[in-house]
A and B are shown apart, each in its own frame.
Chain A
Amino acid sequence: MAAVSPPSLVLEIIIFFGVGSDFQKQFESAPLAPVDYAFIAQTNLGNHFQIDIGKLGETKDAQMQTTTGQVRVGARLLHRGFIAAGGILLIAAFGTDYIYYTTSLWQWANFSAWLITAGLIVIGIAVVLLLIDFATGRAGRLDKGSFMLVAAAALLSLANAFVHSRDAWTSVVPQGILLSAVSTILLIIAGARGWSLTLSRATGDRP
């Protein structure tokens, strides 16, 4: 446990308090202003930092004992990785569609059908996790841009799953590969925006 206090991190904690949490409630009920609290310790726990907060003006040992809360800064958004995984499966379907288009080899069209189905299932899981992210306070506001990109790509891909249920050439050409291409463009933009559908709770930025 190393006691460091980079100013930016302290700032983030203060912003975090401002956004609202159980910790904030303690602030509201306590007679102390935020300035009475100070950063005690930051622990790198791999996927997030644990930051211990204590009251000012006490000894280090006492600070440890009187730690009033812990904040998870940069705690992982559950939905984000699943949006990425589902998005990549849907992008891969454009690749297999393209190979089918150039070779007419049937198995590539089958790969596309499976990739689109799997991509939609994984994005379905991501939607559930997105709700959990909201419910558990991990997520900040919805990122409307990313949400629209992923929602449009998912709906186009749902239509594309039906197009790919056709038999032989017209399961891919022309509508199937066109839908995969448009979904791919939307998803690449969503990927460049970090795959997350929400803003970060701590900073208000996209994570």
Chain B
Amino acid sequence: MNATSLRPIAALISFMSLAACGSRGGDPARQYGSDPYLPEPQQYLLPPMSVPKAIDWQAGETPTVSAGLKVEALATGLEHPRTLYTLPNGDILVVESNSPGTEPFRPKDFIAGKVKARAGAAARGGNRITLLREAGDGNPGLRTVFIDHLNSPYGIVLVGDTLYVANTDAILTFPYEPGETRINSPGAKLADLPAGPIDHHWTKSMTVSADGSELYVGVGSNSNITENGMAVEEGRAAIYEVDRLTGAKRIFASGTRNPTGVAFEPQTHQLFAVVNERDEIGPDLVPDYLTSIRQGGFYGWPYSYWGNHVDIRVHPQRPDLVAQAIKPDYGLSSHVAPLSLLFSEGQHLSPTFANGAFISEHGSWDRSPLNGYQVIFVSFMDGRPVGKPMPVVTGFLGKDNETVHGRPVGLALDRNGALLVADDVGNTVWRVSATQPGR
């Protein structure tokens, strides 16, 4: 075998190794706000994966908070805490949950699963809700299992004396009495939710309208971009409106790829959602977003992104739907994975956070450099997001950006207005409060 005959093979190998490098993401700040920078989409040869290695918080280590704030661990040793919810008496509910688990369909799924497990994403969820009662006022504090044996729960909301829990496959109702620390009732089913087969995006975020009549539930797509076929996307990538009393449901808005957080803006009572956009067309595509949700609105997935930018991976295409696609209100930059949306209720932490929303960014797995891994605050004016996001809680990543101690998920305000942050890698609930109380 001489050198000449090997030349085409050598050329092919060097082409592949070049293509494997991929490109690096630019400054995320270019993609904040209503008019994000959108580069041309890429088609990768090697799937982009960049995942920091999960390493436990060491004793005394905490995330970093912005000036005027302090942070402490409220509870540790939880099982993959995701959603937080504060009951009227100040008790804090921690939903401990993870994906119900999906079978790998392709050789890629095996490899992707192993890589994501590095960052702690494969940890078993508790499938339960833990109740935390903060110590203070002569009260020693309390931690109990509040509801057990759930099925990948996520959304939770109390209306009157009924607690609504969104499992991955159904909304359950539980009777609740103030002060209760354990519910033994198995719960009653209010409504089914789209789940298996596959259940790729399994979380069911949930909130309730101001008048308490309707529940709103975010249902994620069953794939990144329809690679599991269109049939399994029936009724997915949508926000449902569910009648709280009858369980009757309808699709309120669609085309929202993975609406992992839903909440009402307190002044205008407008529904907002944070949405995780599609992967694998570039480190700076597609920006995840915060948007108001219009009834009957279509937000593009899978056919297009950020309005009418067509995604060529979807076949057959639907120009009629692309023409209707609504541009989201506010870009959060690409692959940050916003998971929780919490409107501030007054200036408990700082005057800076008087009007706007906290958003937890679980952090990227397919972008280099990493993006997200923080809790941000987006100011609102006249019921609309404005300005640039401000980092509030950071320092989840190691200094080298190669390791990760925690990833922020659920957000809630406790009875005193402190910001609670669930960390599903550090298995901790962090409490962020003002250094000078009484503000």
Contacts and interface: CB of A to CB of B under 8 A. Distances in A.
For this complex, into which size category does the number of interface residues on chain B fall? 20 to 34
Interface stretch (A25-33, A79-87, A158-166): A158-166
Contacts of B228: 106
Contacts of A105: 229
A142 B1 contact: yes
Interface residues of A, number: 32
Interface of chain B, main secondary structure: loop
Given A144-B5, A162-B46, A163-B45, A168 B225 contact: yes
B77 interface: no
B58 to A, nearest CB: 37
Nearest to B47: A165
A184 to B, nearest CB: 17
Interface stretch (B85-93, B100-108, B145-153): B100-108
B8 A152 contact: yes
Interface in B41-70: 43-47
Interface string A36-56: 000000000000000000000
Contact of A166 (B12, B43, B229, B315): B43
Given A104-B316, A113-B108, A159-B45, A167 B16 contact: no
Contacts of A17: none
A57 to B, nearest CB: 47
Contact of B315 (A110, A114, A144, A173): A173
A170 B5 contact: no
A156 B11 CA distance: 12
B105 A110 contact: yes
B45 A156 contact: no
A172 B9 CA distance: 23
A161 B47 CA distance: 11
B16 A166 contact: no
B135 to A, nearest CB: 49
B122 interface: no
Given A166-B280, A168-B314, A168-B315, A106 B5 contact: no
Contacts of B16: 158-159, 162
A151 B9 CA distance: 8
A171 B140 CA distance: 58
Interface in B10-52: 12-13, 15-16, 43-47
Interface of B: 1, 5, 8-9, 12-13, 15-16, 43-47, 105-108, 223-229, 280, 312-316
Given A167-B225, A170-B312, 7 more contacts: A109-B227, A152-B12, A155-B9, A165-B106, A167-B313, A168-B313, A169-B314
29 contacts: A104-B315, A106-B228, A109-B227, A110-B106, A113-B108, A114-B107, A142-B1, A144-B1, A151-B9, A152-B9, A156-B12, A159-B15, A159-B16, A159-B45, A162-B16, A164-B106, A165-B46, A165-B47, A165-B108, A166-B43, A166-B44, A167-B225, A167-B313, A168-B223, A168-B313, A169-B312, A169-B313, A170-B313, A171-B313
